[in-house]
Structure 1
Amino acid sequence: MSESRIHFTISFCEPQAHYVEIEMDISGFPSGNLDLKMPVWTPGSYLIREFARHIECLTAESDNNLLQTVKQNKNTWRVVNHEGSAKISYRVYGFEASVRTNFINIDHAFLSPAATFLYPDGYIDHPSTVTINLPAQWTTVSTGLPRLSKDIHLYQADNFDILFDSPIEIGNQDTWQFEAAGVQHEFAMVGGGNYDKRRLTEDITRIVEEETAIWGENPNRNYVFITHNYQTGSGGLEHLNSTVLGASRNAYQSDTAYKNFLSLVAHEYFHLWNVKRLRPAALGPFNYNEENYTEGLWIMEGFTAYYDNLVIRRCGLLSVEEYLNMLATEFNLVYNRPGYRIQSAALASFDTWIKQYRPDENTPNTSISYYNKGAMLAAALDVQIIAGTNGQKRLDDVLRAAYAHFFKAENRGFEEQEFAALAEAITGVDLSDIFEAAHSVAELDYNFYFNKVGYELVDLLHDSTELSLGIRTTNQDGRIIIKHVERGSGAWDAGLNVDDELIAINGNRADTAGKELEFLLNHGKVDDIADIMVARDGLIRIIHTPLRKTTKQQWAIQEKKNASERERDLGRIWLSA
């Protein structure tokens, strides 16, 4: 295969109509049929997205002669009887604004490579090159791919795994360079914004250097932050030596929003090690043709969700109180979803392909996020290790050892049992209860762990007498529509449904300000029966609905009363800046 070649050319004839044109030149391949495939998903975003639906007008030719192409299935095209070389041309439509999908308009183009480039079946390890032809109105390309020429935008990928993991931003983005932890970094800002370059550079440098210290080395020579600034934006997706972030363009001067953005940066950068290199065995090498199942996302995403805010704290950019409030949010997000009694962190990981990215009206009743639950379990692991080693070790040491063993020494993914065994070997601490809890809906007593470092988890609403029907409503054109019914609530048992229009309560017209419902909850008693009149598919009915005590929880992490001096010392180690 040393003489074979794959080269892509990217052009934009109609960016205003959201199209990119791709030419794929192959040469030196065995004569005969060649199947070309497009991934059905992109790493880091675990959902079958059927990128092939956006391909149009695929043709193949050789020496100016058209070759026959036959579509084999939803994402495979066969080039029939080529003579070893061919030019394949196709167009891709892209108009979905997210960190994981193509978006092209007159202002810029963001290309998610898994949604853009075909690969020859059986040749996933083949290198390729990419030339980008910029329209006259665009000047800049930002990507983690190495550039081969100063004169033209020519880039190289050693294999398709690297190509698919290297997003490309093309346009007139605001870019600047800085060095952190010995690595050259580029920031590419798309869409404007009220950001302060100097402040961002200083704070992100601290994040990069703190995370590099946790892992012991920075494996990249260069790294690219691509940030899409919207009127309202959020989210991020990790890549091997880059990340794509979503942000709100005019929120950088808000203290809360700015710190949340830094946490997003810390989260995606932490993935440089945790998932992109240290990973479960199922997550690499990838099968781009179907789901890649693992129960380990609670470690990859959950641990990262634990560390993102902790890193910001260690950089001195969050107070202890701010950090503990953020950590408590993980508990509130889990415990205010009845689904935590239904789905474990491991099952949430496994079912991400059908649940995480496809929420519906019943999602809170049936599932949790492995991000939140994983962060809770990571916190328990961290403080258990700190307490069990008298502050000599912590979860950092486990991650650093796992990275060195599984990625650097053996260059493979791990099985969870191996990871757990290594964690106990490195620390000398029994962590089995926490790892087992990831596979169970039975909840840990988190205070068993927090108390060891001088803190306690407290439900501020434990003694609340507040009542609830168990519904969430929204106003639609002056109508009150039920959008969620909580599992086990009075509304659930009585049979109120999502999409019911709430008309009256105990004979009184329901108002869009919620006053009738508020009166009912403020003056009723547990087990009182409320007559709820609804319109369901145009039919009027009255649902006799019992009032129940609210299940809402409000968790906070506070200093433990009467904590010993040793416990306080360990707490200071845990939360040190």
Structure 2
Amino acid sequence: MTSLRYDLSVRSRSQHLFAVTLTIPACDTDVLTLSLPAWIPGSYMVRDFARHIITLTAADNAGNVLPVTKTDKQTWQIKAGKQPVTVEYTVYAFDLSVRAAYLNDEYGFINGTSVFLQVNDLPAASCEVTVSLPESLSHWHVETSMQPDDTNGTHFICEDYAELIDHPVFMGECVLDSVTVQGVEFVFLFSGKTPVNTKRICEDMVPVCEHHLNLFGQPSPVDRYVFMTLLSESGFGGLEHRSSTALLYPRFDLPLEREGGGKTDQYVTFLSLCCHELFHTWHVKRLRPSVFLKPDLSAEVYTPQLWIYEGFTSFYDDVTLARTGLISPEKYLEIVGQNLTRLQLTAGRFKQSVAESSFDAWTKFYKQDASAPNNIVSYYVKGGIIAFGLDLLLRRKSQGNVSLDSLMQALWQQFGAEETGTPDDVIETVCRETFNIDVSEYLQAVVYGKEDVPLNQWLADIGVTLHTRPKNSASDRGGVPPLPAYQKHHLGAAIKNAETGVTVQVVFEDGAACRAGLQVNDRIIALDGYVVNDILLQRLLNQTGESALPLTVLRDGRLLTLSLPVLEERQEACYFTIEDKEKLAAWLATA
């Protein structure tokens, strides 16, 4: 069998350079064509990874230099003359994210799409990877979900290029632990030396892993899974792969070895992130839109289905924590209330459907500007609320015999297990043909239309009531009942404190700031003659009895005076109350 060999090594930690030697066997072509993907599956934006390739040379077996021609931003041609070829190249790696490659003094991390060149002339070739570390880094640990081909854990094999780029690679100092659930080993890796309480994390993740394995049934598509977490001072992210996930998380938002106590909100968010990415092992990596079965990684690949894949997963990442007892029903409803509040603050939900948001993810959702809340809707957030509503609707129409779980299992059996790919109308079709339930009117309204999800029609079935209220403060995320002191009047803008005054980050459509003529990057120096910060500005707004107040604004070197209308705070914060604990417990128990 034809095999490509990639030798990955550290060229310079201080300069953030990886070196790759690619050995290509002789093939029946005079000119070899090599390319690098422009985007990575799961992150729908063209990122042009090839811009980080710094040098590239080619030679034959005798060491003779071969001519290399770059034909576009991500493609090279080599005059090989049907001979074996060795390609050597360096990659700049300083993107601290889950999407590309990163190298510092502590560790190195790569996604294959940003480092491993594809040999277009050998699409079916198997791939071998060797991670070569210098003696000075012999203490570094190498981790990946690729199949090892040696006892040292530095040589790996993949069936083809598609598999090669779907296994991120970590090398460096780290904290490791693992747990086995239903015969599947789950490995937890945290970069660096932070004394993370891995035992607690493993214990907390056991019921999550059990939930997903039970939901989709045996056999599991993986026998070993790696949670590969890059710890940093700040930052957040997750990206799914076929047998692993790459995560980015603030190091001190996780429980440490000698800490006890309950779960902080930050730790709950981490568990939810892990739950989300693990769910993608079934629902994205194998069950996925038809256009993603063999995607063209050189250009955008469009689908209106991301609301299904990210939205449904966003529903399961939180409800799973409640089902397994990792969070209380009250905490779960608080989180859903926060998600609904985020949605209510987005006027873009009246302008863009989630199907359109999915299709335009490449240029709108992944390239948001300061006015994004006014113009687009998140297929993650609204998609999760759509999934919540769909579960309640299916239960109502089937007298409790069919749920979103039933739908997920049918989708897996019909499209995921054999990886056949889903059509755009898959949800409506499966509900009708498998369960004899018509959900077309619901989908037309909330997926393809721009209507809000009518949760109040069904919430009584699970013993819950939804409420809205004014925000308690500018930082209020919703999810909880009102406080005695709340915002009486709204600014209608997102702001942050500046050295003097506050800087406007977002101007919400048709709010007080919008009517006053405030713009993004304006600095509000004073309100009603008083120099303000974010807290004082709201205090002055709350206590005034005037219909308008003067704003002193600095805009691009000019001092302006604007008139800010005093408007009542909108009822945009959402929260739930539990009316029947037994009904809610029964709903959460039906996994």
TM-score range, shorter chain: over 0.9
Residue in 1 that maps onto 2:243:
241
Is 1:574 aligned to 2:582, yes or no? no
Separation in structure 2 between the aligned mates of residue 460 and residue 548 of structure 1, nearest angstrom:
15
Contact 1:194 1:250 in 2 (8 A): no
Separation in structure 2 between the aligned mates of residue 505 and residue 248 of structure 1, nearest angstrom:
36
Residue in 2 that maps onto 1:447:
456
After superposition, residues 51-450 of structure 1 pair within 5 angstroms as: 51-62=49-60, 63-121=62-120, 123-136=122-135, 137=137, 138-151=139-152, 153-217=154-218, 218-253=220-255, 254-409=263-418, 411-436=419-444, 437-450=446-459
Alignment deviations for residues 426-452 of structure 1 (CA, whole Å, 9 cap, x no partner): 333332233221111122321112223
Contact 1:494 1:544 in 2 (8 A): yes
> What is the alpha-carbon root mean square deviation over aligned residues?
2.1
Contact 1:194 1:251 in 2 (8 A): no
TM-aligned CA distance change 1:443 to 1:29, over 3 Å? same
Alignment deviations for residues 434-486 of structure 1 (CA, whole Å, 9 cap, x no partner): 32211111223211122233322211339988222322322233243222211
Separation in structure 1 between the aligned mates of residue 548 and residue 223 of structure 2, nearest angstrom:
66
Separation in structure 1 between the aligned mates of residue 152 and residue 243 of structure 2, nearest angstrom:
23
Residue in 1 that maps onto 2:477:
none
Separation in structure 2 between the aligned mates of residue 433 and residue 466 of structure 1, nearest angstrom:
38
Separation in structure 1 between the aligned mates of residue 25 and residue 470 of structure 2, nearest angstrom:
68
Query: How does the TM-score come out when normalised to structure 1?
Result: 0.93
Residue in 2 that maps onto 1:491:
513
Separation in structure 2 between the aligned mates of residue 509 and residue 286 of structure 1, nearest angstrom:
57
Separation in structure 2 between the aligned mates of residue 252 and residue 472 of structure 1, nearest angstrom:
28
Separation in structure 2 between the aligned mates of residue 133 and residue 224 of structure 1, nearest angstrom:
21
Is 1:543 aligned to 2:548, yes or no? no
Separation in structure 2 between the aligned mates of residue 475 and residue 249 of structure 1, nearest angstrom:
26
Alignment deviations for residues 146-167 of structure 1 (CA, whole Å, 9 cap, x no partner): 0011146111111111111100
1:303: Cα distance to partner?
A: 0.5
Residue in 2 that maps onto 1:532:
551
Separation in structure 1 between the aligned mates of residue 537 and residue 155 of structure 2, nearest angstrom:
65
SS in 2 for 1:236: strand
After superposition, residues 26-37 of structure 1 pair within 5 angstroms as: 26-37=24-35
Residue in 1 that maps onto 2:46:
48
TM-aligned CA distance change 1:123 to 1:573, over 3 Å? farther
SS in 1 for 2:11: coil
Contact 1:194 1:252 in 2 (8 A): no
Contact 2:33 2:78 in 1 (8 A): yes
1:202: Cα distance to partner?
A: 1.9
1:516: Cα distance to partner?
A: 5.0
1:59: Cα distance to partner?
A: 0.5
Mean CA deviation greater in 195-204 or 99-108: 195-204
Q: Which amino acid aligns with 1:266?
A: C
1:515: Cα distance to partner?
A: 2.6
Residue in 2 that maps onto 1:518:
539
Aligned length: 565
Separation in structure 1 between the aligned mates of residue 240 and residue 202 of structure 2, nearest angstrom:
19
Residue in 1 that maps onto 2:574:
555
Query: How does the TM-score come out when normalised to structure 2?
Result: 0.91
Contact 1:336 1:551 in 2 (8 A): no
Separation in structure 2 between the aligned mates of residue 424 and residue 450 of structure 1, nearest angstrom:
23
One of 455, 458, 466 as aligned partner of 1:457: 466
Separation in structure 1 between the aligned mates of residue 173 and residue 148 of structure 2, nearest angstrom:
18
Mean CA deviation greater in 531-540 or 158-167: 531-540
1:122: Cα distance to partner?
A: 5.1
Separation in structure 1 between the aligned mates of residue 212 and residue 304 of structure 2, nearest angstrom:
25
SS in 1 for 2:133: coil
Contact 1:383 1:574 in 2 (8 A): no
Separation in structure 2 between the aligned mates of residue 160 and residue 325 of structure 1, nearest angstrom:
43
Contact 2:100 2:111 in 1 (8 A): yes
SS in 2 for 1:71: strand
Q: Which amino acid aligns with 2:497?
A: N
Separation in structure 2 between the aligned mates of residue 75 and residue 572 of structure 1, nearest angstrom:
54
Residue in 1 that maps onto 2:4:
6
SS in 2 for 1:438: helix
Alignment deviations for residues 475-526 of structure 1 (CA, whole Å, 9 cap, x no partner): 23324322221111132133211112223334x142236535532342135x
Mean CA deviation greater in 292-301 or 417-426: 417-426
Contact 1:480 1:503 in 2 (8 A): yes
1:104: Cα distance to partner?
A: 0.4
Contact 1:61 1:67 in 2 (8 A): yes
Residue in 2 that maps onto 1:473:
495
Q: Which runs of 5+ in 1 are unaligned?
A: none
Contact 1:46 1:353 in 2 (8 A): yes
Alignment deviations for residues 97-121 of structure 1 (CA, whole Å, 9 cap, x no partner): 1111211012110011100011022
Contact 1:386 1:574 in 2 (8 A): no
1:194: Cα distance to partner?
A: 4.0
Separation in structure 1 between the aligned mates of residue 423 and residue 132 of structure 2, nearest angstrom:
44
Separation in structure 1 between the aligned mates of residue 106 and residue 227 of structure 2, nearest angstrom:
19
Separation in structure 2 between the aligned mates of residue 169 and residue 553 of structure 1, nearest angstrom:
43
Contact 1:192 1:229 in 2 (8 A): no
Contact 2:55 2:89 in 1 (8 A): yes
Separation in structure 1 between the aligned mates of residue 179 and residue 534 of structure 2, nearest angstrom:
51
TM-aligned CA distance change 1:415 to 1:220, over 3 Å? same
Separation in structure 2 between the aligned mates of residue 144 and residue 556 of structure 1, nearest angstrom:
41
Alignment deviations for residues 156-191 of structure 1 (CA, whole Å, 9 cap, x no partner): 111111111100001122223321121122221212
Contact 2:389 2:454 in 1 (8 A): no
TM-aligned CA distance change 1:99 to 1:476, over 3 Å? same
